[in-house]
Amino acid sequence: MKDYSPKRTVKLPGKYLMPGLWDTHVHFGGGPALVEENKQLLGLYLAHGITTVRDCAGDLSDTVLDWRDMINQGKLVGPTILASGPKLEGYKPLWKGTIEVGTPEEVSKALDYLQSRSVDFVKITENTMKPEIFLEAVRQARARGMQTSGHLPVQLTLDQVMQAGLGSIEHQSYALRGATPREAELTAQVAAGKLTGREAMRASLESFDEATARATFRRMAAAGMSITPTLVGSQVTAYLDQDDHANDPYLKYIGKGLRKTYEWRVQRAAKDDAAAIAYRHASYEKAASLLPLLQQEGVNIIAGTDAGFLNSFDYPGQGLHDELGIFVKYGLTPQQALQASVINGPRFLGKQERYGAVPKARQPTCWCWTPIRCRTSPTPARCAWWSATARCSTAASWTQCWKPRAAMRKNIRRRLTLKLRRAGLSRSWRCRSSSCPSSHRKPVWLPRGPDRKSPPSGRAA
C-alpha cells in the first residue's frame, strides 16, 4: 500500500469529519449460489457511510473470512469485516453453517478451529444447544481471551449468562426476561417443560417491572455485558400487517436470490391471527422501550441491524440509518445513537484505541474528509488533520484513498502554510484564548505584525 495517493479531492468547507459508522450485526448467507449477490452488498454499506460491519455468522463463513482478509490487504473494496466464522450450536440445529457441539471436548475442538481462522469473536446460539453446554462454551471462550456474543437459552437467567461471562446479548427481546421479578420462576418452568419459551415471554411482558429491569441492567453494566438491539429488523416483522414492503424502492438493490430468502418470515407472519399480531406489536414496543433504561443504567448499547439474508426487508446500509432513528424515537439522544455505532462498537471488540475517533493517534475509517475549524484561530482559516488510512467513500465513488502518513502531513502543512501566508497570517505557538491554561501551546495562525514576520504584540501567551 505504499505511495498511494487520492485520485480525487473533494472540498467540503463548513462540514464535519466523523468516523465511519459500524453495523455490528449483519449476516451474509443463502448458500454458495448467492455468493455474488452477498458480495454486492459490500458496496451498499460503503455508500451509506458504514465502514465496518460485524458478521454474526451465516452459511458462507469461510467466504466471509476470505473477504475480510482481502479487504484488509486492499484486494477487495468493502467495509472492514469483523467476523465470527461459523457459530456454535447444538446437534441438528435449524441454522446451516454451524459447528455442532454437545460436550466440553467438542466445544474445545470448535474453539481451536475458530482460533486457527483468527475469528474476531465467537457467536453462540441456542436453537438446539443444551444450556449447560452454552455456559461451558462461554466460559471456555472467555478463558482463551475470545469475545463472545449470542442468543440466550430460555432455560437460563440473565444472571447465569452474566456470571459465565457472555460479552453481548444479540437482540433486545432477550433483555425482557430480566425485566420481571418472575424471571427465575419462569426459567425454571421452561426448564421443567411446564412452559414453552413463547408462553414464558408472554408472562414476562405481563409482569414487567421497571425497578427489576433497572436492577438487572445495572448488573449487566457491572459485568461488562453489551447488547445489540437490532430493533429495525424486529420492527419490520412486527408490523408486516401494516406494511408488506412489496413496493420498497430499496428492493432493486437486493438480488433475486436474497429476496427469495425473505419469504419464510413473511409466510410465517401471514399465519398469525389477530391475537398473535397484537402480541407481536406489544413485544416489539416493550423491547424498544427498554432503550433509555439500558442507557441510564450504563449498559453498552451497540448498533446493529440483523441485515442480510433471511431477515425480511432489513436492508444493508439503509437499515443502520433506520436503526439509529429508532434509537432516537424511543428515548436516546442523537449523540447517544451515533455513539452506539461509532464508539460502542469498537469498545465491545476492544478496538477503541484504533477506531471511533478522529485524533492523530487513532486510525478512523472516515466517510468523507473535510477541514475542521481550529478552536483557537480567530480567522476564517481552517486547520485540517487527516488520517493517512482514512477511506474516502461516497455514493458516486467507492474508491479507497490512501497516502502514507508522513507524506500526507508534509503536503498538507506546505499547502496550508502557503494559503495562510497569502491571507496575511503568521504561525504562532501562542493561544489567543485567555481561558486556556499556560500549558496549552498549540500552533495557531494570527494576523501578522507590522514587520510581516511575527504576530502583533499584546497576545496572551
pLDDT in the model for residue 356: 81
In a domain? residue 356:
no
C-alpha cell recorded at residue 130: 443444551
CA 383 to the chain's CA centroid: 30
Residue 230 near residue 304 (C-beta atoms within 8 A): yes
Task: Please give the Cα distance from 180 to 211 (Å, whole number).
Answer: 9
Instruction: Give the count of domains, the chain.
Output: 1
pLDDT in the model for residue 15: 81
Question: What CATH number has the domain bearing residue 79?
Answer: 3.20.20.140
Cα–Cα–Cα angle for 59, 243, 332, rounded to 5 degrees: 80
pLDDT in the model for residue 107: 98
- Return mean pLDDT, the chain: 84
Please, where are the H alpha helices in 224-373? 231-238, 256-261, 263-270, 274-289, 291-296, 318-329, 334-342, 344-348
- Smallest CA-to-CA distance from 86 within 124, 57, 120, 54 is with 57
Residue 167 near residue 149 (C-beta atoms within 8 A): yes
Dihedral sign, CA of 55, 60, 62, 63? negative
Averaged pLDDT, 421-438: 50
In a domain? residue 156:
yes
pLDDT in the model for residue 452: 42
C-alpha cell recorded at residue 175: 433483555
Q: Between 442 and 27, whose confidence is greater?
A: 27
Which domain covers residue 251, as residue numbers? Answer: 21-348
Q: What percent of the chain has pLDDT over 70?
A: 77
Q: What are phi and psi of 357, to 5 degrees?
A: -155, 170
User: Which of helix, strand or coil describes residue 52?
Assistant: strand
In a domain? residue 375:
no
Q: How confident is the model at residue 371 (pLDDT cuts 50, 70, 90)?
A: very low
Over 70: is that where the pLDDT of 21 sits?
yes
Over 90: is that where the pLDDT of 163 sits?
yes
In a domain? residue 6:
no
Task: Please give the Cα distance from 100 to 91 (Å, whole number).
Answer: 5
In a domain? residue 411:
no
Q: Which residues contact 77 (CB under 8 A, 6 or more apart)?
A: 42, 43, 46, 71, 398, 399, 400
pLDDT in the model for residue 176: 96
Q: How confident is the model at residue 287 (pLDDT cuts 50, 70, 90)?
A: very high
Q: Between 397 and 73, whose confidence is greater?
A: 73
Task: Please give the Cα distance from 273 to 276 (Å, whole number).
Answer: 5
In a domain? residue 334:
yes
- Smallest CA-to-CA distance from 81 within 68, 72, 90, 63 is with 68
Q: How far is CA 180 from CA 158, 165, 362, 373, in A?
A: 11, 22, 42, 49
Side by side, the strands of the sheet bearing 80-83 are 80-83, 50-55, 21-27, 307-308
In a domain? residue 404:
no
In a domain? residue 260:
yes
Q: How confident is the model at residue 129 (pLDDT cuts 50, 70, 90)?
A: very high
Q: How confident is the model at residue 374 (pLDDT cuts 50, 70, 90)?
A: very low
Task: Please give the Cα distance from 77 to 128 (Å, whole number).
Answer: 37
Q: Between 105 and 387, whose confidence is greater?
A: 105
pTM listed for this prediction: 0.77
Residue 257 near residue 28 (C-beta atoms within 8 A): no
As a residue count, the chain comes to 461
Q: 231-277, pLDDT tens digit by residue?
A: 999 999 999 999 999 999 999 999 999 999 999 999 999 999 999 99
pLDDT in the model for residue 410: 61
Q: 377-429, pLDDT tens digit by residue?
A: 333 332 232 332 333 333 333 233 333 345 555 666 666 666 666 665 555 44
Residue 180 near residue 157 (C-beta atoms within 8 A): no
Q: 296-335, pLDDT tens digit by residue?
A: 999 999 999 999 999 999 999 999 999 999 999 999 999 9
User: Which of helix, strand or coil describes residue 197?
Assistant: helix
Q: What percent of the chain has pLDDT over 90?
A: 72
CA 264 to the chain's CA centroid: 26
